[in-house]
Structure 1
Amino acid sequence: MPELITPQGNQSISAILFDKDGTLLQFVSLWGSWSECFLGQFTRQLQQRGLEFPAQHRPSLLGTIHDAEGRITDYDRNGPLAMGTMSDLYAILCWQGYLLGLSWAESMELVDHCRREADAMLERSRPVLPLPGLLRFLDDCAASGILLAVVTADETAAAENHLRWLGIRDYFSVVIGTDQAERGKPFPDMVLLACTRLGVQPAAAAVIGDTNGDMRMSKAAGAAVAIGITGEADAAGVDSDADVGVILPDADILVQSYTELSIRRNAR
């Protein structure tokens, strides 16, 4: 069985299950673009109806971090954009329209319009970028015979598109979106389903993700190890905003990027 080599020890595994956004794809590049487009449309559509969405509430709405010009520069790893399903996000936005005076039906129509605009923008621009070291790591996994899957809070069709845009879809035997499971993260359903389809036990699989929902999902499913990707945060302690250990308290191992991970192919 191949070994996953990490800074905090090695783990014999047969499969690796990856979250998608913030784990395979750079989160802000994709979802920052989508959110800026969506929120811009949302604000303009409300204004056309004589309603004003307070600018100061934008960051708390989906869990995004904005610069002085309002551009999205980061995200809350424990917020709805990072951990929620698309249905969760649409419900949050519908509720805002309702609070501002729209009927629920009008709010649903407004949100659907904004969603279509934001999705079309993504299709045109395809703003997907891999995390540092990802492509080398996927090549090493493929060469070692480790089975790979994606378990994402996104819907399956969208996830498939994003993986194809980045040119990495063929690495994965299975892609599980939240629409395929009864419960999304932090519940174990997607990991259990992915392992069933791969033909491996959860105890022989590693889970890699960027939110504590991923870590809790891994633990609930009985996976071998839960690895948290911290990005530019200091894997040993603190980033510019928060203690990573607080953000990902259920991770077994923290790494900044895939440059800290490697595969050892054991001789038969």
Structure 2
Amino acid sequence: MQENRVRHGGLPSVQAILFDKDGTLLDFTHMWGFWTDCVLHDFREQLSTRGLSLDEDELSQIWGTFHDEQGRMNGYDIRGPLAMGTMEEVYAVLTWHGYRAGLSWAEAKMIVRACLAQAEEAMEVHRPALPLPGVREYLEQSRRKGLKMGVVTADETANAVKHLQWMGLNAYFDVVIGTDLVDRGKPFPDMVLLACERLGVQTQQVVVIGDTDGDMEMARAAGAGYRIGIGAPGSIHLADRTIEGFHELLPGGLGR
């Protein structure tokens, strides 16, 4: 079989691209804003029935999210827990805030799990996963070039596959690695190393694309050949190149 090779500047041939999911392939605020609003609304109600409340001034500090006057999430801190943490870490942070509000640790854990379950039910109904502009075109272009593609995400694998299916993007990816498949999640290199092993490629022949420095540190630690950050100029310090959107990689892409 003829080996597909794509040049990227002075790098060795690029054989594969690994993508972060949230904030890279899909609109982070559109999906996780929906989820956050569901969870926090139910959590507030649970506290209220017990005569307790969250400190609204600290709302943005729970998960590193920004909110409008109605309390709806309308942005996020790319350095924060929701953007960079595992789901178990996100759950633990909210449990801590429940404890701070006056719940016992055990009760806080139970309430958080119940709120999460309700939010997941709402997600299944509304399926608020929206691809970022240019994603589908870039994936199609990369597939035509013969590049292998994978997803490395702080989300759990089953959820990641489901979200890709909601967007109709799952067929593009040869492997999906969630944080539950490795001992250490981002920013450690484990997910990139596992993805490369399953794809049968060397780490130096891989480009990693993500929207946080956690993604870039994971790629650096794994020895990835190139790191592309998606965000405002200067916002992702560890990237070899920062783009504001996939339109900057079209039509030439990695072969440009």
TM-score normalised over the length of structure 1:
0.90
Residue equivalent to 1:206: 207
Equivalent position to 2:253, from 242, 260, 263? 263
What's the CA shift for 1:264?
Answer: 6.2
SS state at 1:51 partner: coil
Distance 1:42 1:264 in 2: 45
May I ask how many residue pairs the two structures share in their alignment?
A: 249
Q: Give the SS at the match of 2:23.
A: coil
SS in 2 for 1:3: coil
Mapping for residues 1-268 of structure 1, pairs under 5 Å: 1-4=5-8, 9=9, 11=11, 12-230=13-231, 233=232, 235=233, 245=234, 247-261=235-249, 262-263=252-253
Deviation, structure 1 residue 28: 0.3
Structure-1 separation of matches of 2:187 and 2:254: 30
TM-score by length of 2: 0.94
RMSD, matched Cα: 1.4
Secondary structure of 1:65's counterpart equals strand
Gaps of 5+ in 1: 236-244
Identity %: 51
**TM-aligned CA distance change 1:255 to 1:42, over 3 Å:** same
In 2, are the aligned partners of 1:160 and 1:175 still within 8 Å (CA)? yes
Amino acid paired to 2:253:
I
1:71–1:264: structure 2 CA closer, same or farther, 3 Å change rule? closer
Following superposition, which runs of at least 4 residues in structure 1 exceed 2 angstroms of deviation?
9-12, 262-266
Shift of 1:265: 6.2
109-118 or 51-60: bigger deviation: 51-60
1:193 counterpart SS class: helix
Structure 2 residue runs of 5 or longer lacking an equivalent are: none
Q: CA deviation at 1:97?
A: 1.2
Deviations 1:147-167 (A, max 9, x none): 000000000010010000000
